[in-house]
Structure 1
């Protein structure tokens, strides 16, 4: 048996009734699409247990449509409520065509609470301040979900910071949250919870390094992270080839093989970056995420992405592309010294480039490919002048 798939605009007001009917089984499955996404073919059907289809950002290869069952979405919402302070009211600050934003809508539906939303348009601290004040005025608990770039803007604005203190939890995911940013948020009195997960796990399924109830994490000899539990996706729409390589059954349990590296310390997961993000310079492997954590802690650095640029001598030259609070270029010598003293000289960036904003994909993730192209172009222009 199957059921029809209905495409809806990526607006909370359109998604709410359609999502409610899809979860309850009284309407077709739904897929929220951004205006910029190509229109899919009409008459698409999905397995009967699938309630929602979420299109991934396509950071590797072409975009994929991930099928999520009502049971998996319910399990995710229940586990989140159990880990936090119970079902609550949510402020939507993320796009609903990505799983993190969709989950905010879904948790409100399942909790029977009215959903609060930010107005359409770019994320602004002043807009967040007003919306947060209204969203936390009623009975709690109160929650919201942000990506790290949004958290930076909240912390840079005293009014937004004060408004954010009213939330019982602020989930931060979508991209790695640098330790200095996390420490800054907690020192400001924000109850921040880091999340790790992906569309194929109904969003975040590991909070502050610990799996939610029912979720298990494994790390193999190559440091690949695998996840299992009731939150796993049904599979990919019209992509049995991906199903066969991404989902594997071991020991009677179905696992998702992620593309992420990690390690487990006493049951706490530390994500080390993607398997394909490791840089090789002069024959030495460099972990860009580790370098970013060091650079993010330097004075004046607001955001950073570390990439490799082709180099005839080193193979790849490590480059730090940064966003600063005042637009000034951090001294390269100081930056290299800080990284080298922590991670070794091979990890020290050979160049630092300042940009106004990092290219992003999805809900706040740095687009490493776009950043690498930008760095290569800027360095090429510099060499030819």
Structure 2
């Protein structure tokens, strides 16, 4: 059974419901299924073994996703912001790939594959081609290849098998649970697990998908209002820009019942301002990884409301919530074998049928018990999971392991700080010294010693930054993840020898 089953199931229940696009001109389930069957024939006739998509959000993505599934081949959405050489290198790793690219990016793919079609060409050919029968696939066949963002190493192709994706859906999403007037605004990019997960989860629940190709806070708010959007997913940088755009005013989005965020750490001040701007919206923090087929922990609307109302629970807003059904977690010591007790920080390992943990050309990284090393430092308290940052980000100062997130969570509450990242820099005496890289508020210019004193008053002295450096912005991926290695290089380049 493959992910095309999701489309078949949805079509059997509400074939004439609009599931993709604007409510006055979108695709119905029946039309999506027909285009996917015809698109499968386009791929089959050209001997494709991988379907590559390079483009922004839009109706072509679900069409190509299910066309590839019906053709029995994986889809690989790539980051359209990459250079010609970077895109070519990724396509070269995919056997007999056919590339479907938006007109704006097609030129960068010239010569990358034997067949490069623009999005419009692919959709036109699909309409003109007789539909193909679905190719039966094994549950173990690869459905999606997603390349990691490469923030700490070179991008790796994660193999998500049909069984991984279907397990995530069956355990966390209720089939056909959405009413006909529910709509989801999808603004996370196709090459992100949240973007691909949105295709499957919204169709499975019966919720119409509305796409925002190019994010802007004004455009996002207007589309929510115009289309009566009931749920949306954003990354923290998007929510921060929406909150900044509102500048203390209410959002005035009465239909928006649910707003999910994830993909990177959410600064608590941004979250608190967002909760005030969207007072009738239920907030959801969704934590997951590409290798886990999307969400593995959720902090739900009730958790947000309770934490906001009770100062004793306020710290819970910095958690990612409780583990979803079907998943198991362990917090292990650095020796990879000792399981730590609640409240102790260590390495997060996860296990469950939605976990892939497998990379193209590299095999699996699961241990003998089927556990996946997330490489995130974490702790569990009262059933809530707290993420302390990537293991590779840990600063070792005088033999003591220091998580940057611990210091960042304190500094971000300083009135003069808009954004902050904490990194380790080489030090002859301590091994590494702590450096706080600060983006100040436009109207503020705090003194470095003031910031150090703020931190010293709230954390142990060993957590006080040795250096405070001011910058205009922090290097991030399009989905909001901080690229620490770029920040370290940027800071080292301006530091005295």
Please tell me the TM-score bracket, short chain as reference: 0.7 to 0.9
Q: Is the 8 A contact 2:425 2:433 kept in 1?
A: yes
Cα separation, 1, equivalents of 2:162 and 2:450: 52
Match of 2:333 among 210, 221, 229: 221
Deviation at 1:350, TM superposition (A): 2.5
1:352 and 2:443 aligned: no
1:129 and 2:221 aligned: yes
Is the partner of 1:365 in helix, strand or coil?
Answer: coil
Deviation at 1:278, TM superposition (A): 1.4
1:72 and 2:164 aligned: yes
Cα separation, 2, equivalents of 1:283 and 1:255: 29
Change (3 A) 1:68 1:351: same
Is the partner of 1:264 in helix, strand or coil?
Answer: strand
Aligned length: 365
Cα separation, 1, equivalents of 2:407 and 2:158: 32
Which residues of 2 match residues 21-60 of structure 1 at below 5 A?
21-23=67-69, 25-35=70-80, 36=82, 37-39=86-88, 40-41=91-92, 43-44=95-96, 49-60=141-152
Is the partner of 1:258 in helix, strand or coil?
Answer: strand
Larger radius of gyration: 2
Partner of 1:102: 196
Deviation at 1:185, TM superposition (A): 2.4
Partner of 1:377: 493
Cα separation, 2, equivalents of 1:77 and 1:161: 34
Q: Is the 8 A contact 1:197 1:203 kept in 2?
A: yes
1:191 and 2:282 aligned: yes
* Residues 220-277 of structure 1: per-residue CA shift (max 9 Å, x gap): 133111111221127222212xx1xx21232xxx221111111112322111112221
Which residues of 2 match residues 292-371 of structure 1 at below 5 A?
292-326=408-442, 328-361=444-477, 363-371=479-487
Q: Is the 8 A contact 1:294 1:339 kept in 2?
A: yes
Change (3 A) 1:66 1:165: farther
Alignment root-mean-square deviation, CA = 2.8
TM-score, structure 2 as length reference: 0.67
Partner of 2:261: 172
Match of 1:247 among 348, 351, 366: 366
**Structure 1 residue runs without a partner (length 5+):** none
Deviation at 1:323, TM superposition (A): 2.1
Bigger mean CA deviation after superposition, 31-40 or 214-223: 31-40
Partner of 2:235: 147
Cα separation, 2, equivalents of 1:68 and 1:28: 12
Bigger mean CA deviation after superposition, 2-11 or 213-222: 2-11
Deviation at 1:202, TM superposition (A): 1.1
Q: Is the 8 A contact 1:180 1:293 kept in 2?
A: no
Is the partner of 2:208 in helix, strand or coil?
Answer: coil
Q: Is the 8 A contact 1:90 1:135 kept in 2?
A: no
Bigger mean CA deviation after superposition, 294-303 or 308-317: 308-317
Q: Is the 8 A contact 2:417 2:440 kept in 1?
A: yes
Q: Which has the higher strand share?
A: 1
